[in-house]
Amino acid sequence: MQRRLLVLILLGSGIAFGRPADVAAQERSITVASTTSTEQSGLFGHILPAFTRATGIAVRVVALGTGQALDVGRRGDADVVFVHDRAAEERFVAEGFGGPRRHVMYNDFILAGPAADPAGIAGLRDTAAALRRIAAARAPFVSRGDRSGTHAAELRLWQRAGIDPLAGRGAWYREIGQSMGPALNTAAAQDAYLLADRGTWLAFRNRQGLRILVEGDASLFNQYGVMLVNPQRHPQVKAVEGQAFIDWLVSPAGQTAIGGFRLGGEALFFPNATQPEPTA
């Protein structure tokens, strides 16, 4: 009778066999502010279960444009930021909001557009020249306009082309203030050009008449980096668990998981935590 009573007490208190480990696993969690490309491409769905199995740490992803993800980190509302705008990341570190920054992986951007290609850019390897043709033709161009890493890269490419696209805002240049998936949907519906990251492009199914028209230019290189949010500035940051995630991403296990993510046999991201950054 006494033993039965003890078992009932243990069950009622939530510490029956197996319960403490489950509770501890639930309590070990982090928030990662990342880009829509890592989420919408399906990468996180592929790699996060492996990380949680290896460490017992659950990951909640807040998927935003890179600029917004870094702002989440600045406020201390995330433990880790995993984004793709090198210049913005280095400012984040220099301002004391986090770091150090680590390379994780790369892929590239592509310039897509309608198969009819009214600007005549298909097959060009010079992205700046392609953008100049689009502007000269006043052909519809969809911009994310959301301070994402892709948006920042797009603006740098327009600057390199010597063109201010905002002068055409509302006419041929259309900012939508949304992530990569909606931008691709909009471009497909409007027969417009746009800059996209290859990972989301490969995962995108509503291409309609869109085609890759320009690729392979060194200026389209797209590096991703990861940083721990500074726990000295934000004491609520889970530094131990966040660092465990970063360490796993750049470890052989994490790099293998990233490299193993494929769609239709094609890799979407290329791990390079321990390699020099490619020049093309």
Q: What is the pLDDT of residues 93-138, one digit of tens each?
A: 999 999 999 999 999 999 999 999 999 999 999 999 999 999 999 9
Q: What is the pLDDT of residues 225-265, one digit of tens each?
A: 999 999 999 999 999 999 999 999 999 999 999 999 999 88
Strand partners, 175: 143
What per-residue confidence (pLDDT) applies to 14? Answer: 39
Q: What is the pLDDT of residues 168-182, one digit of tens each?
A: 677 899 999 999 999
Give which of 26, 59, 18, 1 is closest to 226, Cα–Cα. Answer: 59
Q: What is the pLDDT of residues 141-169, one digit of tens each?
A: 999 999 899 999 999 999 999 999 888 67
What per-residue confidence (pLDDT) applies to 207? Answer: 85
Angstrom distance (rounded) from CA 63 to CA 60: 10
Q: Is the pLDDT of residue 4 over 50?
A: no
Distances (CA, A) of 211 to 7, 187, 191, 202, 259: 65, 11, 10, 11, 25
For the chain, percent of residues with pLDDT exceeding 90: 78
Burial grade of 270 (CB within 10 A; 0-12, 13-18, 19 or more) = middle
Domains of the chain, with CATH numbers? 2-106+221-271 (3.40.190.10), 108-219 (3.40.190.10)
CA 157 to mean position of chain CA atoms: 19
Angstrom distance (rounded) from CA 39 to CA 60: 11
Return the amino acid letter for 94: A
Place of tokens 């390199």: 160
Angstrom distance (rounded) from CA 87 to CA 63: 20
Model confidence band, residue 22 (pLDDT cutoffs 50, 70, 90): very low
For the chain, the average pLDDT equals 89
Model confidence band, residue 18 (pLDDT cutoffs 50, 70, 90): very low
Give which of 275, 279, 273, 271 is closest to 107, Cα–Cα. Answer: 271
Rg (CA), the chain: 22
Phi, psi of 24 (to 5 degrees): -60, -40
What per-residue confidence (pLDDT) applies to 277? Answer: 63
Q: What is the pLDDT of residues 49-82, one digit of tens each?
A: 999 999 999 999 999 999 999 999 999 999 999 9
pTM of the model: 0.84
Mean pLDDT along residues 8-31: 50
What per-residue confidence (pLDDT) applies to 19? Answer: 33
What per-residue confidence (pLDDT) applies to 81? Answer: 98
Beta strand extents in the chain (DSSP E only): 29-35, 58-64, 80-83, 102-114, 141-143, 173-175, 194-197, 210-214, 221-228, 262-263, 266-267, 270-271
What per-residue confidence (pLDDT) applies to 17? Answer: 35
Return the amino acid letter for 88: A
What per-residue confidence (pLDDT) applies to 170? Answer: 72
What per-residue confidence (pLDDT) applies to 275? Answer: 81
Give which of 89, 13, 21, 25 is closest to 56, Cα–Cα. Answer: 25
